[in-house]
A and B are shown apart, each in its own frame.
Chain A
Amino acid sequence: MEQGTIKITIDDKEIWAKDGQSVVEAARENHIFIPTLCDYKSLKPAGTCRLCTVKIGGRFVSACTTTVSNGMKVENESSEIKDIRKSLIEMLFVEGNHMCPSCEKSGNCDLQALAYRYQMTAPRFPFSFTNRRLDASLPHLILEHNRCIQCLRCVRGVRAKDGRDLFGFVDRGAKIHITVDKTVEEAFSEKTAAAAMAICPVGALIQKGGAYQTPIGDRKYDLHPIGSEIESNIEQSGGSHDTKS
């Protein structure tokens, strides 16, 4: 790994970053947590969720799509930014129908974990109770649109063998939703279902037949808030960078 060559400041902490890195990546390597939902490993950043909003040079930008530059000053933990992030989480909760108690992903869900971290009790916004579909027509995969946050991680990260997009997104505005190409053989495979569920930060893509296996108390976010693994000073192992499967 090449040495960090760029010096940036996040809040009051000076850190070294590598050329070409995003602010989110640089922060992560330096044990600073910037919350993300749509950013995922080596996928090209999309910037849909805006959770990683930071203030740079007086402007609010998404840290996942912003590349570090020398002398950059990043504001990450101000009360203003925290409130924006909490607002965004709450917007997602009222926009869809997030019934945590019955969700297979509960305890392992990034959206829920962020809501815990930001101590969301009742969202400040009214629930929309929008009517969305649940598509269980595939043999191994459930598309639960009620829980989808349109982060497009599946659209960007799950592909068929020939490289074709398996997931897409249709419509626009409030009606935007993901779709799966059911003419492609891979849509029916167990492998795709597993990959889709793994890449989905919430419970919108669920592999059939394998839910609720981890007991409460042992799940990903039961004991420690999301981001605490980054913030703890233990070096992360490997830094696995998946490419598109």
Chain B
Amino acid sequence: MKKSVSEIAQMHQNKQTQLLAILHDIQEQERFISDEVLHILSDELDVPLVELEGVRSFYHFFSSQHRGRYTVYMNTSATSEMSGAFEVMQAFEKHSGIEFGQTTSDFKIGLYKTSCIGLCDQEPAAIINNLVFTQLTASRVKEIVEAMKAGKDLKVLLRQGEGQNKNPLIGAEIFNNIRQKGPLFFNEFEPGSALKKAMDLGSLDVIESIKKSNLRGRGGAGFPTGQKWGFCRAADANRRYVICNIDEGEPGTFKDRVLLTENPYLVFEGMVVAGYAIESKRGIVYLRGEYAYLKNYLEEVLNQMRQGHLLGKKILGTRFSFDIQIKLGAGAYICGEESALIESAEGKRGQPRNRPPFPVVSGYLNKPTVVNNPETFGCAAKIVLNGPEWFRKMGTAASSGVKLFSVAGDCDRPGIYELEWGMSVADLLKLCGAKDAYAVQVGGPSGVLISERQFARKLAYEDLGTGGAITIFNKTRDLLSILHNHMEFFNNETCGFCVPCRAGNAILLKKLEKIMIGNGTSNDLSEIKAWGQTVKLASRCGLGQTSPNPLLTALQNFSDEIASKVRHDIDYISQFNMDFAIEESVKVAGRSPNLRVEEVED
């Protein structure tokens, strides 16, 4: 039964903070969100129409145009391209008769590209109506398109996944690929044990314990967690929030997906511990839209926790109450930035805020808010359980504990590795069976691209700090194409709010393309360095401040190879191409491309 827009809005209490959920429901039911719908919502939610238009147009998974009854979201990240995405996409286009970016005229099938969906170790992958297909081939695509044309349930075409992915609540064709287990994430955990310990300690000592453990944020930035919790608790307010940031959009990272699939109790208990420590009553799990297929399963986990008195009112029979709500993102890398995530969770465009004030002082609904990565919450739970000394014994002096690494690309064993901080890149490459690594992207496109000369460097905050994405490229890969993929990614994902990130990244991409077609000079390389630096320094948030990194770190670490792609004997090459420039007008005017004059005189 179709629901009316008003009914859908009502299901979500007509609240703007539920706007993304409302738009998800409408998009899923209607396959697009019309202007008419926005008019109704504007009245129902009392939100200005222009703001609703702004929100609808901000997220990849919302559209004003029909996306088809089956909507294919094909991942286009570098690892996907390396695994044959091009052939797979061609097959999709051939069999459905449309190009990517289009919907068939009968509105049956829509083909759309999307940024990394967190499946880099099993590409090419696509999400079709929340069903996940991995390791796609042209022949499977043919089957899938035929099933879509026939209006069949695509579930029958899914291969069985691994571990909890088999759980009917998930039902995804996903392989966990946990290659190396450690003491923290993928072993027995008794739900409630960390929370009991926390309550024995008392809230202030929990924060002390986290501080002593030296735990730093696992999302990439590495801010000391105990300090963050301390600041938030100290902020004067009647309400505080705990947010779990499951918006791992950095191409090459997928460890949060596996952690949430296999050990969500640990993560959620970490959130409750945080809530207890900072005296909060409400937690929010911000789940990226790409992981929507995990939602029902995670809801069930939360229910189990409520039944076990680990969540909800009077937790473990005490006066402490804390509940968690899952909010679904809708496709936007920028929402991994904590203030953008908060905006998005409030039902707005996911644009970063100006800081200060920081979220620990003024976050969700302008209340003090702790935003942490799920891995950080997992660590926190175990630290409370086993003590800070246990945690500090692992890793290095400056980087305590273990870290989850998402390893993908050219190696025999891509997947998840739980490792102590301090391992060298070379050792990790050995571990995952990367025999002929030429370049390693540490920390995704926003991190650094390193060459063999730096493989002795250590994975640790004091050397190569990272959110854990390790993407390996061997000598057969084209360096410039990888850089192009990464710069395109930033161009697709910039929110466009500030000038250097919006305009600067477009300029840098164009510059790279100039070099790729053989029109580059050494001038172009120095300009990339200078312009990239401007984008880094002047941009408003972390996205812009790191977006030129693919180019800048490649120029630094692969200087010889890149220098070999440009001319050094001249300082100016025109991009102008006469044949191209006259092609259209000759055709329209119906004349021959007569360039006699040029030939005679030049």
Contact = CB atoms under 8 A, between A and B. Distances in A.
Given A45-B354, A50-B539, A91-B504, A179 B499 contact: no
A85 B48 CA distance: 34
Contact of A60 (B49, B332, B354, B537): B537
B571 to A, nearest CB: 14
B515 to A, nearest CB: 14
A174 interface: yes
B534 interface: yes
Contacts of B498: 47-50
B48 A92 contact: no
B293 interface: no
A95 interface: yes
A168 B537 contact: no
B495 interface: yes
Nearest to B50: A168
B263 interface: no
A175 interface: yes
A175 B492 CA distance: 10
Nearest to A155: B50
Contact of A94 (B51, B496, B507): B507
A87 B531 contact: yes
A49 B494 contact: no
B494 A84 contact: no
A212 interface: no
A37 B295 CA distance: 43
A101 B492 CA distance: 33
B538 interface: yes
A91 B578 CA distance: 27
B50 A167 contact: yes
Contact of A168 (B53, B356, B492): B53
Contacts of B499: 48-50, 88, 91-92, 95, 149-150
A179 B356 CA distance: 29
Interface in A59-115: 60, 62, 65, 67, 83-84, 87-88, 91-92, 94-95
A65 B498 CA distance: 13
B502 A176 contact: yes
Interface in A145-201: 149-150, 155, 164-176, 179-181, 183-184
A175 B64 CA distance: 15
A29 to B, nearest CB: 21
B510 interface: yes
A76 to B, nearest CB: 14
A179 B506 contact: no
A165 B495 CA distance: 20
A97 to B, nearest CB: 13
Q: Which of A124, A125, A165 has the most CB of B within 10 A?
A: A125
Given A91-B507, A92-B503, A173 B354 contact: no
A37 to B, nearest CB: 9
Contact of A47 (B53, B494, B534, B540): B540
Nearest to A182: B49
Given A91-B507, A150-B496, A172-B57, A50 B50 contact: no
Contacts of B354: 45-47, 62, 65
Q: Is the interface of B mostly helix, strand, loop or mixed?
A: helix
Q: Which of A50, A53, A172, A175 has the most CB of B within 10 A?
A: A172
Given A47-B354, A53-B538, A171 B49 contact: no
B231 interface: no
B351 to A, nearest CB: 8
Contacts of A184: 49
A126 interface: yes
A164 B510 CA distance: 40
Nearest to A175: B496
Contacts of B527: 124
Q: Which of B500, B504, B538, B575 has the most CB of A within 10 A?
A: B538
B493 interface: yes
B51 A165 contact: yes
Contacts of A172: 57-58, 332, 349, 494-496
B202 interface: no
A170 B534 CA distance: 26
A48 B493 CA distance: 17
A228 interface: no
Q: Which of B39, B531, B534 has the most CB of A within 10 A?
A: B534
A42 interface: no
A172 B55 CA distance: 10
A176 B494 CA distance: 10
Nearest to A37: B499
A236 interface: no
Contact of B50 (A47, A165, A173): A165
A62 B501 CA distance: 14
Contact of B537 (A53, A92, A165): A53
Interface in B244-298: none
B54 interface: yes
Interface of A: 45-50, 53, 60, 62, 65, 67, 83-84, 87-88, 91-92, 94-95, 124-126, 128, 149-150, 155, 164-176, 179-181, 183-184
Q: Which 6 A-B pairs have the closest CB atoms?
A: A168-B50, A176-B496, A91-B503, A165-B48, A65-B354, A170-B57
22 contacts: A47-B354, A47-B540, A50-B499, A50-B539, A53-B538, A62-B540, A67-B356, A88-B500, A88-B534, A91-B500, A126-B507, A126-B510, A128-B506, A166-B50, A168-B54, A170-B56, A172-B57, A172-B494, A173-B491, A173-B496, A176-B496, A179-B54
Given A50-B539, A174-B502, 11 more contacts: A47-B498, A47-B540, A60-B538, A88-B534, A94-B503, A126-B507, A167-B50, A170-B56, A171-B58, A181-B50, A183-B49
Interface of B: 39, 48-51, 53-54, 56-58, 332, 349, 354, 356, 491-500, 502-504, 506-507, 510, 527, 531, 534, 537-540, 575
